[in-house]
Structure 1
């Protein structure tokens, strides 16, 4: 096993949705009047289908019976420009992006699976949004630091995946099991990069239940995970209903080779992207709005899967993914924290509240282990343990949701 560089929590960042945005003074932004969105079981009603380039705000209300999410998609209908997840029935969340001129789509996804509902065209007109203001250089420095981190993480992910796959394909399951959570941590810190590239994240990281729901071939980390942690005879799939052994057999040597080689190829595609001009141009266009939204998106990753123990269904290594998401979210926040503080007393108070939220969450997680030494198996947590972590996530999510609006003020 090759030595891996362990990254302290304060040295980790993560990319949020690929927001086609820039950093502008408030006076240069579009109208501050928010667009409203009503998400239901069958619809996604947006109060308008056009806007002027600059800062756009969508106030999303869940008027249905299932947890939902809202997306602003690029013109290809695949790349995510902005998203807000984990909106409970009766609740509301806000998405803020800085949008460049172009054609987009809006979409809601009740149940947070499938193709979504209510896809509609959305047009942004006006002039391209450029970096401006006295702090433009500092904002670009934050973007550059973030870009360097993403490249570093994927640069470590690629060889780690190759080593992991070699053990899996050779039948050395003990070694592969020992590597699984550590390898995934690199991916979990930068997961929204792949999520913004159409079907790349589904190929790398979909759970079995998600692949079935969307009619996709099941590949990636979790397909390999099920081979490494063979389900017990009385185990159920993640849907809680289907017996784990129904229509299931351990992979043959040839199938292991196919799954392993596919994972290596998909990670290579991610590596090629983050080292491309397209990636750098996307980051430059995002500015600090993209980094701020990244902090929010990664905490949403925890709230929508890890805290329920549904991510690593077979291995029970959910807390490792949880910790990596939190590390990424915290560092993304750290890159824009000063911009929030610069907005005055309210911004400084918000930053302090977010700092405290991360500290409380990290303290609670430390009771169960660490990425370096390993965490307890998720099934060892009691209902009270899960409730405490859930409360801490919610306590952090509330002020964090205000971050993008604050740094763009």
Structure 2
């Protein structure tokens, strides 16, 4: 969730951010003109070029400012092509993306707020899509179907949650809350690519921009668990949540999805876990963080499994490591549920410091090799 990343990076999140620095090695590409150097400071966003050929492009990002930043490649309508968030001061990260011919913007967001400092980017020519491995096209089609299925399955669950809120039934709404979020959490990078849906349905209070009204799941979460009451405003917000999720459902099929965006999306989902779920910040009232955690990991693994046939040929050692780390994290999460076929997880406020450290270490162990997935897909 974008709102999670707007919070101050905690010690656990910082550990993951430092792990990501491990992917700052030089690009395997022999083409220096495929790399755009991005230097971010607190008041500047400098790029090494304003024009590049279509295809696989690598952003070599360095944060020379004093604030945590994020860097985006954006379509003219602000839809997200690719992004990398939680880039700490003095650190470097690399992001691989696939871009078609057209006009774009590269945005740096010091403090991870606002519209960012932007530079125009013109992309010319045909690029990688015309000569892409057919198996990757199949992976994209399969992932698009998966994302649509998650949206389709989410809506009735969200409607059940909203119906309980509208009926003023606090306990029924609590029971329906976490389940209504699973499909969203599995495919959140697709939703975030639209730019305007995530802030409506998944923002936290500390992620609000100036003048933004607090709507969505977490506003209702606070009402149910902290305020312990449902009023007219909450009932109206429940209806608005369903309306916004219907918008998401209808737009999923229009999302710009490429093999590298799938790979980057998998990494983003692990970042979601690191910056919100492991820290307990995401579901601070309901403590249903482990449900979101599991859904994020499942979504990341779905992207990986679809890309695996090609990645195995490009980097067999990476596949071996990812298989190992996904299995280890799954086993770790299974410790916190009695039935491995349900989403009935332990309330996160019952997980002690040692347990949270173990979960954090598991995320770190997966995040480092997962950060290499996009580059392996693009070889």
TM-score scaled by structure 1?
0.80
- What residue in structure 2 maps to residue 201 of structure 1? 198
Distance 1:229 1:57 in 2: 44
Q: Could you give the per-residue CA deviations for residues 169-199 of structure 1, whole angstroms, max 9, x where no partner exists?
A: 1011111101111111111011122211122
User: Which shows bigger deviation, 48-57 or 381-390?
Assistant: 381-390
- What residue in structure 2 maps to residue 354 of structure 1? 322
* CA shift for structure 1 position 129: 4.6
- What residue in structure 2 maps to residue 365 of structure 1? 333
- What residue in structure 2 maps to residue 311 of structure 1? 282
* CA shift for structure 1 position 407: 1.5
1:30, 1:53 within 8 Å by CA — same for their partners in 2? no
- What residue in structure 2 maps to residue 80 of structure 1? 80
- What residue in structure 2 maps to residue 120 of structure 1? 119
* CA shift for structure 1 position 167: 0.5
Once the two structures are superposed, the pairs formed by residues 260-339 of structure 1 within 5 Å of their partners are 260-275=238-253, 278-279=254-255, 282-283=256-257, 286=258, 288-339=259-310
2:24 pairs with 1:54: no
CA RMSD of aligned residues (A): 2.1
2:367 pairs with 1:403: no
* 1:230 aligned residue (211, 226, 233): 226
* CA shift for structure 1 position 381: 2.2
Q: 1:359 to 1:111 in 2, by over 3 A?
A: farther
SS of 2:287's equivalent in the other structure is coil
1:231, 1:314 within 8 Å by CA — same for their partners in 2? no
- Number of equivalent positions: 349
* CA shift for structure 1 position 289: 1.8
- What residue in structure 2 maps to residue 256 of structure 1? 234
* CA shift for structure 1 position 86: 2.4
- What residue in structure 2 maps to residue 97 of structure 1? 97
2:363 pairs with 1:385: no
* CA shift for structure 1 position 214: 4.0
Q: Could you give the per-residue CA deviations for residues 144-174 of structure 1, whole angstroms, max 9, x where no partner exists?
A: 2112111111111111111110001101111
- What residue in structure 2 maps to residue 65 of structure 1? 66
SS of 1:150's equivalent in the other structure is helix
User: Which shows bigger deviation, 365-374 or 385-394?
Assistant: 365-374
SS of 1:305's equivalent in the other structure is helix
Distance 1:268 1:168 in 2: 18
Structure 1 residue runs of 5 or longer lacking an equivalent are 1-27, 233-249
Distance 1:295 1:123 in 2: 27
SS of 1:314's equivalent in the other structure is coil
Distance 2:247 2:323 in 1: 35
Distance 1:268 1:186 in 2: 13
Distance 1:333 1:373 in 2: 22
* CA shift for structure 1 position 108: 1.7
- What residue in structure 2 maps to residue 184 of structure 1? 181
* 1:394 aligned residue (343, 352, 364): 364
* CA shift for structure 1 position 313: 1.4
Q: Which has the higher helix share?
A: 2
* CA shift for structure 1 position 350: 0.8
2:273, 2:293 within 8 Å by CA — same for their partners in 1? yes
User: Which shows bigger deviation, 81-90 or 180-189?
Assistant: 81-90
SS of 1:300's equivalent in the other structure is helix
Q: Could you give the per-residue CA deviations for residues 180-237 of structure 1, whole angstroms, max 9, x where no partner exists?
A: 11111111011122211122110010001112x44311000011111110259xxxxx
- What residue in structure 2 maps to residue 220 of structure 1? 216
2:42 pairs with 1:41: yes
SS of 2:105's equivalent in the other structure is strand
Q: 1:202 to 1:60 in 2, by over 3 A?
A: same
